[in-house]
Amino acid sequence: MIKKLAECIGEYKKETILTPVFVGFECAFDIIIPFLMAFLIDNGINKGDVRTVVIIGIALVICSFIAIYTGVKSGDYSAKATSGFAKNLRRKIYYNVQEFSFANIDKFSTSSIVTRHTTDINNVQMAFQMIIRMAVRAPLMIIFSLVMTFVINVKLALIFLIAVPLLGLGLYLIATKAHPIFEKAITIYDKLNNTVQENVRGVRVVKSFVTEDKEIEKFEKTSELIYKEFSRAERIVALNNPLMQFTVATIIVLISWFGGKEIVANNLTTGEFTSLITYTMQILMSLMMLSMVLVTIMISRASGERIVELIDEKSTLTNKENAIKEVKDGSITFENVNFSYVNDENKLCLKDINVEIKSGETIGIIGGTGSSKTTLVQLIPRLYDVTSGKLKVGGIDVRDYDIKSLRDQVAMVLQKNELFSGTIKENLRWGNEKATDEEIEKACKLAQADEFIKTFPEGYDTYIEQGGTNVSGGQKQRLCIARALLKRPKILILDDSTSAVDTKTDSLIRKAFKEEIPNTTKIIIAQRISSVEDADKIIVLDNGKIKAIGTHEQLLASNDIYQEVYYSQVKGGEDNE
């Protein structure tokens, strides 16, 4: 894990190495300065020697300024290294996610991918900064300070040798004890946030079932749990400061007693005595820092693992060598295709699919909820690979194509339409980056979107809010169709993409398809019979199997499922029109 994360330091190696170097200088000055201060008191002030006072004083000032310089430098380098590291890490996982296939995306939930980009990276970034600064500084300070105490007085230094490991152990115990409780508390915290989110989203349900009080009760229960767990953890952490203060106090008292005797015995000067106290503080502060670093690393370890999981995830779809870049035509052949989302022959979603579609044909697909209509068409642009059997586009197995070339020729309008924040024009250019205004308008006319776009005051420059919330469902669908048309695909797939469009417009769209793009193979999944009845062929799917293929008339005459669907829509089950 560490190695993979460390790779992301990349071009910030220089800063990453220079940070600890300058931190080292900084530490050196932090050690020298108290030493100079002691000297100033002993040999200058105590002896009334103005010259020494001034010389050492000036030396101190110079040292301080060099220390400021090194401090600013190390701060600058560490900020650069940290922000750069986080940037690279973020880019690395984002780029990898871009390579994901549908199967990969299904595996991780959207929100978990987003959290890995945000919270997890934040945690790792914090740990990184701590490691290159504190994790260098703290041990250095401890060692330097210990050495100095030995230089000053070996006997007194022994006090540290006993106290420091004890305190370190105490801090470590506190950290390791509190950490699991924190982790547990954080999962409860997630639960709480989930409750809030559900309530915000489902506010209409809550209000119409008048379950406000029940929800409040539920929330308060979780909130109570959080209160308890966090309190438990915080109570342990609250021991940190007193423990540290206690150790400081003990050491200072011991130094005062033994040090006092040493001064009397002329083995120690008062200046050295005060520096010992200063070093005491420095050692303890460093220990405190170390325990903080420890906790941060512990917290970020889980985050690091989650990030690496994304980095390691390999796309389930890969290009073959010498992949074919050109799709000849829009013909599609399914040969004994079986498909399972989990790659398990026993859990097939599609069974034994055999269909032949000629280039330029219009194909309708009808079937009940859960009959695998979407699954079937998702195989065509190779969003998933078949489990067994063969799927050919333009006479060639889809797995032999370069994925990008294949998808450029297969335009698919998904059931879950997504528009992105940006102008209408920008959204449409997803289909073709270089599309001219005329081309855009033409595609919109085909999709029957031009008319309503022109009613907007800003026309094609109307800004679409995130998720396309400021256009109606039907308008969104038509924009998505126009976007797909701009690709000038050989195959166009509409997955229930006109459900919110009124039937009149729906038929206009189909008419435009017929007249304007006769050579494009069109596959239309629909709930409405009217959307598919003039197709060249209609496939009736049921439970992952093809029940029948035929024209509207043929199916109406022979297929019971089709008849049922038809009558449920046209006849309303009672009278004849």
Partner 1 sequence: MNNKMKGKIDFKVLARVLKYLTKNYKLRIFFVIISLLLSTASSVAANLYLQTLIDDYIIPLVGVENPVYNSLMQAILTMIIIYGVGVLAGFLSSRLMVKVTEGTLKQIRDEMFIKMQRLPIKYFDTHSHGDIMSRYTNDTDTLSQMISQSIPQMFSVVISIIVIFVSMIATNIYLTIVVILFLGIILVVSRYMTSRSGKYFLKQQESVGKLNGYIEEMINGQKVVKVFCYEERAKERFDKLNEELSKNVYNANKYVNCIGPVNGNLGNTLYAILAMVGGILAIKGIGNVSVGLIIAFLQLSKTFIRPINEVSRQLNSIVMAIAGAKRIFEFMDEEPEKDEGYVTLVNVKEENGKLIETTEKTNKWAWKHPHSDGTLEYVELEGHIEFNDVDFGYEEGKIVLHNISLYAKPGQKIAFVGATGAGKTTITNLINRFYDIEDGKIRYDGININKIRKDDLRLSLGMVLQETNLFTGTIKENIKYGKEDATDEEVIEAAKLANAHDFIMRLPNGYDTKLTGDGASLSQGQRQLLAIARCALCNPPVMILDEATSSIDTRTEKIVQDGMDKLMEGRTVFVIAHRLSTVRNSKAIIVLDHGKIIERGNHEDLIAQKGQYYKLYTGAFELE
Name residues contacting partner 1, limited to 46-105 (CB under 8 A). Answer: 46, 48, 50, 53-54, 56-58, 60-61, 63-65, 67-68, 70-72, 74-76, 78-80, 82-84, 86-87, 90-91, 94-95, 97-102, 105
Residue 232 or residue 358: which is nearer to partner 1 going by CB?
232
Q: Does residue 434 interact with partner 1 by CB under 8 A?
A: no
Residue 185, amino acid: A
Q: Does residue 518 interact with partner 1 by CB under 8 A?
A: no
Q: Does residue 356 interact with partner 1 by CB under 8 A?
A: no
Least distance CB 290 / partner 1 (angstroms): 17
- The DSSP code sequence of 194-246 is HHHHHHHHTHHHHHHTT-HHHHHHHHHHHHHHHHHHHHHHHHHHTTHHHHHHH
- Contacts (CB under 8 A) with partner 1, residues 238-267: 238-239, 241-242, 245-246, 249, 252-253, 256-257, 260-261, 263-264, 266
Q: Does residue 170 interact with partner 1 by CB under 8 A?
A: no
**Which of 201, 325, 390, 454 forms a contact with partner 1 (CB under 8 A)?**
201
Q: CA-to-CA distance for 195 and 218, rounded, in angstroms?
A: 8
Residue 332 or residue 354: which is nearer to partner 1 going by CB?
332
Which part of the chain contacts partner 1 (CB under 8 A), choosing from 145-153, 392-400, 404-412, 543-551? 404-412
Residue 54 or residue 557: which is nearer to partner 1 going by CB?
54
Of 23, 41, 43, 272, the residue nearest 150 (C-alpha) = 272
Q: Does residue 573 interact with partner 1 by CB under 8 A?
A: yes
Q: Does residue 324 interact with partner 1 by CB under 8 A?
A: no
Q: For the chain, what is the total number of helices (H) and then of strands (E)?
A: 23, 12
- The DSSP code sequence of 85-107 is HHHHHHHHHHHHHHT--HHHHHH
Residue 335 or residue 551: which is nearer to partner 1 going by CB?
551
Contact yes or no for 425/440 (Cβ under 8 A): yes
Q: Does residue 557 interact with partner 1 by CB under 8 A?
A: no
Least distance CB 87 / partner 1 (angstroms): 4
**Which of 467, 516, 518, 543 forms a contact with partner 1 (CB under 8 A)?**
467
Least distance CB 197 / partner 1 (angstroms): 6
Question: What's the N-to-C CA distance of the chain in angstroms?
Answer: 70
Tokens of 192: 């709480």
- Contacts (CB under 8 A) with partner 1, residues 273-302: 273-274, 277
Of 242, 251, 278, the residue nearest 170 (C-alpha) = 242
Where in 358-490 does DSSP place strands (E)?
362-367, 388-393, 396-397, 410-413, 422-423, 463-464
Q: CA-to-CA distance for 160 and 276, rounded, in angstroms?
A: 10
The distance of Cα 65 from the centroid of its chain, to the nearest Å, equals 43
Q: Does residue 360 interact with partner 1 by CB under 8 A?
A: no
